[in-house]
């Protein structure tokens, strides 16, 4: 399959951004974006190609149907995002780093043009991400490091479906597309938790309606069970963060703080593992190997304000345009 030809203006925008910002980080980001743009091919062409595997064709057809649903029923943007496919020939599109001080739950932030300040740093090359993670650890930060399968430019480019997303179950694949499209509806600078919680709320609303519309009662029941697990997990995270905040605010010596921190994190790991076991799910490996302040921060980013957005939807009697307007007003008042 030949790659889709990219409009000259898009190439120039990426290249000029890299040149103006200079520095290795921005150059690698520009190159990574160029790779994504260069490997896109329209989904309808992929579906028409007799070399496309049945599994890939089935997934892309499902996403095509979900994309139309996102426009007709969820009032998400009607544009060319997720109407193309790109095979990056690797497992992750970017590798993200979240960092927090040893005795703080305030994530370190990095600031960029257009998107503002966010509480993570992303790299298109795993080696560069690992090098940055080790540097931050050497500086005394708690670090969370991991590959990310989905990537969004907030609508500034026509984001494709990526091969890195396709190892998920179908319901999660559709959910992530709804999530990323929600960022195109509302995104405010310098507030990662607001943006990700809003997108998570739209994702949840969208999945409820998508699966119900298809009569997928078994899938809907499974999705709700996994959502309940995520909410219970988020509650455990919130309780742990509250306890750690009190510990860190005390005047105890560092050695005692470290001991109290590790004890509370171990209690959290045990409680969280039991939640997953009770739900018949496998707990994340980092609960036992890489649990620290940065991990707690990264889990809160996506769910911290979801109840607030659900309340806005209830106040709008489920009307999504009303909900989007209410969320925009909330953003303006924040």
In tens, the pLDDT along 217-276 reads: 999 999 999 999 988 998 999 999 999 999 999 999 999 999 999 999 999 999 999 999
Q: Band the pLDDT of 305: cuts 50, 70, 90.
A: confident
pLDDT at position 108, please? Answer: 93
Q: Is residue 139 part of a domain?
A: no
Q: Is the pLDDT of residue 11 over 50?
A: no
The answer to whether residue 25 is domain-embedded is yes
Which pLDDT does position 114 carry in this prediction?
A: 65
pLDDT average, residue stretch 76-98: 96
Does residue 20 form part of some domain?
yes
Instruction: Answer whether residue 173 shows pLDDT above 90.
Output: yes
Residues 84-113 have a mean pLDDT of 93
In a domain, 202, yes or no: no
Range of the domain at 21: 1-38
Domain total in the chain: 1
Helices (H), the chain: 8-21, 24-38, 43-48, 54-72, 126-138, 170-185, 192-213, 217-248, 254-278, 286-289, 293-301, 306-315, 320-333
- What was the pLDDT predicted at 6? 37
Domain presence at residue 262: no
**16 domain residue, yes or no:** yes
Would you state the pLDDT for residue 300?
74
Q: Nearest-CA neighbor of 234 among 327, 175, 310, 313?
A: 310
Give a yes or no: residue 96 inside a domain: no
- Is residue 29, in this structure, part of any structural domain at all? yes
Over residues 59-77, the mean pLDDT reads: 98
């Amino acid at each position: 399959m030949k790659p889709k030809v990219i409009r000259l203006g898009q190439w120039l925008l990426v290249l000029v951004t890299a040149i103006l910002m200079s520095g290795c980080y921005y150059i690698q980001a520009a190159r990574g974006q160029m790779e994504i743009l260069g490997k896109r091919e329209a989904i309808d062409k992929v579906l028409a190609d007799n070399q496309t595997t049945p599994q890939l064709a089935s997934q892309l057809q499902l996403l095509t149907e979900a994309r139309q649903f996102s426009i007709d029923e969820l009032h998400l943007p009607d544009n060319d995002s997720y109407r193309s496919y790109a095979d990056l020939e690797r497992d992750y599109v970017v590798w993200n780093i979240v960092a927090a001080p040893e005795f703080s739950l305030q994530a370190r932030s990095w600031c960029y043009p257009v998107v503002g300040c966010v509480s993570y740093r992303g790299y298109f090359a795993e080696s560069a991400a690992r090098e940055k993670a080790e540097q931050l650890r050497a500086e005394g930060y708690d670090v969370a490091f991991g590959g990310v399968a989905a990537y969004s430019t907030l609508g500034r480019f026509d984001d494709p479906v990526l091969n890195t997303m396709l190892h998920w179950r179908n319901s999660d694949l559709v959910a992530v597309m709804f999530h990323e499209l929600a960022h195109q509806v509302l995104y405010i600078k310098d507030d990662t938790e607001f943006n990700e919680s809003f997108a998570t709320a739209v994702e949840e609303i969208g999945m409820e309606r998508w699966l119900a519309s298809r009569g997928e009662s078994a899938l809907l029941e499974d999705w709700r069970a996994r959502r309940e697990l995520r909410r219970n997990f988020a509650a455990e995270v919130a309780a742990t963060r509250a306890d750690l905040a009190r510990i860190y605010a005390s005047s105890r010596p560092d050695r005692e703080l470290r001991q109290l921190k590790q004890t509370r994190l171990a209690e959290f790991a045990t409680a969280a593992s039991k939640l997953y076991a009770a739900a018949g799910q496998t707990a994340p490996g980092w609960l036992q190997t890489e649990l620290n302040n940065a991990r707690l921060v990264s889990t809160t980013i996506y769910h911290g304000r979801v109840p607030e957005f659900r309340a806005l939807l209830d106040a709008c009697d489920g009307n999504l345009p009303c909900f989007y307007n209410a969320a925009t007003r909330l953003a303006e008042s924040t």
